[in-house]
Amino acid sequence: MINSILLQANGAGGTGILGQVFLFGSIILIMYFFMIRPQQKKQKDAKNFIQNIKKGDQVVTIGGIHGKISSIEGDAVILELDRGMKIKVEKSAISAEYSKKSSGTK
């Protein structure tokens, strides 16, 4: 009788480990689809936006400066803030959100 109880306990423990592995794997899968994958998509979209900017686009920098692209010089961009007032910023300092909002309202 004692041997049968011990065998049942050992058998139940083996399926418990398999259940825990399945649970852990499903948690990792859920984290991938809800956290990692969307972040990778956002980074890809931002990279494509920066590569496809052109003269005349209305943009905003990460620091909140609004302007129109006057010219592109390699990794730098000349922004025209007002008539005759221009500043030079890195392409990586341009935020994609402003252009998406402004292109949606036009």
Residue 1 is classified by DSSP as -
Residue 87 near residue 65 (C-beta atoms within 8 A): yes
Q: What pLDDT is stored for residue 104 in this prediction? A: 53
* Percent of the chain's residues with pLDDT above 70: 75
The yes or no reply on domain 55-106 and CATH 2.30.30 is yes
Q: What pLDDT is stored for residue 24 in this prediction? A: 94
Instruction: Show Cβ contacts of residue 54 under 8 Å, excluding neighbours closer than 6 positions.
Output: 69, 72
Say yes or no to pLDDT of 37 above 60.
Answer: yes
Q: What pLDDT is stored for residue 95 in this prediction? A: 84
Q: What pLDDT is stored for residue 46 in this prediction? A: 86
What residues does each domain of the chain span?
A: 1-52, 55-106
35: tokens are: 């956290």
Cα gap 77→51, rounded to integer Å? 12
Of 89 and 96, the structure prediction assigns the larger pLDDT to 89
28: tokens are: 């990792």
55-77: pLDDT as tens digits: 988 999 988 999 999 999 989 99
Phi-psi region of 17 (alpha: psi -120 to 50; beta: other; left: phi over 0): alpha
* Element holding 8 (H helix, E strand): helix 2-31
